[in-house]
Amino acid sequence: MQMKRREFLKVLGAGVCLGAAGCVSEMSARSSRKPNIVLCMADDQGWGDMAYNGHPVLKTPNFDAMAASALRFDRFYAAHPVCSPTRGSVMTGRHPNRFGCFKWGHTLRPQEITIAEALKTAGYVTGHFGKWHLGSVRKGSPVNPGASGFDEWLSAPNFFDNDPILSREGTAVQTKGESSMVTVDAALEFIEKHIRGPRPFLAVVWFGSPHGPHQAIEEDRAIYDGQQKNFQHFYGEITGMDRAFGKLRKRLRTLDIDNDTILWYCSDNGGLPKVGTTGGRANKGKVYEGGLRVPAILEWPARIANPCVSEVPCNTSDIYPTLLEITGVRMKNQPPLDGISLVPLIESKMKTRPKPMGFWDHPTGGIRTPSLEWMTELLEAQKAGKQRSEISRLRLDAGEITKQYPLDCFPGHAAWLDWPWKLHRIQSKKGDVKFELYNLAYDPAEQNDLVARDTDRVNSMKSQLESWLTSVVHSLNGRDYR
């Protein structure tokens, strides 16, 4: 599958648009009203877990249709190989280690500027729907969606399955239906409420699929009857998410707002081991390609008139600065960004990425965040007339910086991607450091380590990587907020 894909793109050329007129619409005059924005994200869908990327079994007709008519990113990366940190990168445009979001269940810091807060300064009304996993979804928390800039929200503390209990602005609500459709229906209710108003909207739609345990509804599972049972439900969850996404995309059309709406889809990390098909030596949780490379599509008919395939490496951290440039927002006291604006790419002016991107999986462990258990607890408390929240669920200490990290020690697995070269820096618990170097153009599975053959390149990239890591630690220690 990987080889066929590369041959196809070689014919097209990197970043080449399929339409003769190019990606950019001839409608160069911008509307006085800023575009609506819908950001969608899957939970644990790898790059290969799409029919349009060559999966031999999966049915994703709605994603396929969008990929055939929009800007399709062939080398799009999650900022981190697990969920909460990547979601933090979308919110801030920054690598999540800068604000201590090391693994699943870690939070934003209240000191961070989020995309919702930034766009509200430009008059946007904002809503979050689905998986949050960047803090609490209870009232009184400094890191619930409302405290992070969202006017309206129906959210879960973590992944969720069918008939989920969700939090509507801090109040537990029992919903009914397939999980992705519940998420989309909530987002559409918000969109339809605000489309005729004077303010553009930002809707963040974060699905709980295809995170395990996989529980596809019968309609979606039955499509894969010939597969092993675990694959039936995994594939079925993705197909269910595809159907819900298709409803969202179609409704934007019937509401006649699709032309001036940015619809951006991606996933939060690479594919799942054993069921996912993302290429590479490893999957979710690893800094190799299989843990970071994800599907991504951007549709905006007013500015992207023709279908495009881009091989320019891009990152979830790029979403924030891209949207700020599009909307003309400049935030006072903006902390350092790791992402770059992709407006030049949208305008067919970016052929290569202007700066490398860094990754760092810190060895700090995750934090348990059981959505079903905690939301059931909240719902039962409400029924009993008890509104007091379990204090630990509020994450009241999210903004505290009590630890200072050394500037000369970078534990865990980091990498520096300067296309097509990717340098890995792996520091063991004992402090030993080893490096690996791969040429992704010829070795996307990262199997042929060139570290011993190209010492000059290794030394140059090592210096850049460690300079970036030092910058991240400065942020982690709180310097950006002084």
Note the pLDDT tens digit of each residue in 333-367.
999 999 999 999 999 999 999 999 999 999 999 99
If pLDDT is split at 50, 70 and 90, which confidence band does 283 have?
Answer: confident
Of 99, 109, 203, 96, give the one whose Cα is nearest residue 147: 109
pLDDT, tens digit, 9 for 90 and up, residues 207-251: 999 999 999 999 999 999 999 999 999 999 999 999 999 999 999
The domain limits of the chain are: 2-360, 408-481
Cα-flanking dihedrals φ and ψ of residue 39, to 5°?
A: -110, 115
pLDDT, tens digit, 9 for 90 and up, residues 162-206: 999 999 999 999 999 999 999 999 999 999 999 988 999 999 999
Task: Please name the amino acid found at residue 310.
Answer: S
CATH homologous superfamily of 2-360: Alkaline Phosphatase, subunit A (3.40.720.10)
* Least reliable range by pLDDT among 12-16, 123-127, 327-331, 469-473: 12-16
CATH class, domain 408-481, is alpha beta
Work out the widest C-alpha separation in the chain, in whole angstroms: 68
* pLDDT at residue 20 is higher than 50: no
Of 320, 335, 353, give the one whose Cα is nearest residue 93: 320
> Residue 72: in which H helix or E strand, if any?
strand 71-77
Length of the chain: 482
pLDDT for 27: 36
* Cα–Cα dist 371/441, whole Å: 40
By the 8 A CB rule, do 469 and 414 touch?
yes
% the chain with pLDDT above 70:
92
Pick 120 or 14 by higher pLDDT: 120
pLDDT for 278: 64
> Residue 118: in which H helix or E strand, if any?
helix 115-120
Q: What mean pLDDT is predicted for residues 398-405?
A: 96
pLDDT for 196: 87
Which residue do the tokens 């934007």 mark?
Answer: 252
* pLDDT at residue 33 is higher than 90: no
Query: The pTM is what?
Result: 0.94
pLDDT for 264: 98
Q: What mean pLDDT is predicted for residues 379-385?
A: 93
* pLDDT at residue 448 is higher than 50: yes
* Cα–Cα dist 463/40, whole Å: 36
Can you read off the two tokens belonging to residue 254? 């019937």
Pick 90 or 15 by higher pLDDT: 90
- Give the chain's mean pLDDT: 92
* Cα–Cα dist 200/195, whole Å: 7
If pLDDT is split at 50, 70 and 90, which confidence band does 23 have?
Answer: low
Residues 441, 444, 445, CA angle at the centre, nearest 5°?
A: 155
Report which DSSP code applies to 224: G
> Residue 461: in which H helix or E strand, if any?
helix 455-476
By the 8 A CB rule, do 240 and 217 touch?
yes
pLDDT, tens digit, 9 for 90 and up, residues 97-121: 999 999 999 999 999 999 999 999 9
Q: What mean pLDDT is predicted for residues 69-94?
A: 98
If pLDDT is split at 50, 70 and 90, which confidence band does 58 have?
Answer: very high
Which residue do the tokens 């760092």 mark?
Answer: 360
